[in-house]
Amino acid sequence: MKSFEKDLIGKKVMSDRGVPIGVIKKSFIDSDSGEIQTVVLDPSQSINVEKFKHNEQGDIVLPAQDICSVQDMFVFEEKLD
């Protein structure tokens, strides 16, 4: 995913089932390719952070390859085990 970080910050992320996951607060970009590798979300109050990969601060960390842009928000494709 190529994009500008300033265009991502503050965008909502929902699951592919329509559940709000959180709001993008930061992204990590590969310095060689310029592609966004991961996004960090401020989790929604109603989400169980333990269901997702998260950092020590409790922010959700998602691989950019698993989200896609839909209008003014992003959708995370959950992988069912």
User: Edge-to-edge strands of the sheet including 67-70?
Assistant: 60-63, 36-43, 20-29, 12-15, 73-76, 67-70
53 pLDDT tier (thresholds 50, 70, 90): very high
Q: Which domain holds residue 57?
A: 5-76
Residue 27 within any structural domain of the chain: yes
What CATH number corresponds to the domain at position 62? 2.30.30.240
Take residue 14 and report the two structure tokens written for it.
Answer: 């929902």
3-class DSSP assignment, residue 32: coil
pTM, two decimals, is: 0.79
Domain tally, the chain: 1
Task: Tell me, yes or no, whether 81 lies in a domain.
Answer: no
What pLDDT digit, counting tens, does each position of 11-49 carry? 999 998 889 999 999 999 888 988 889 999 999 998 899
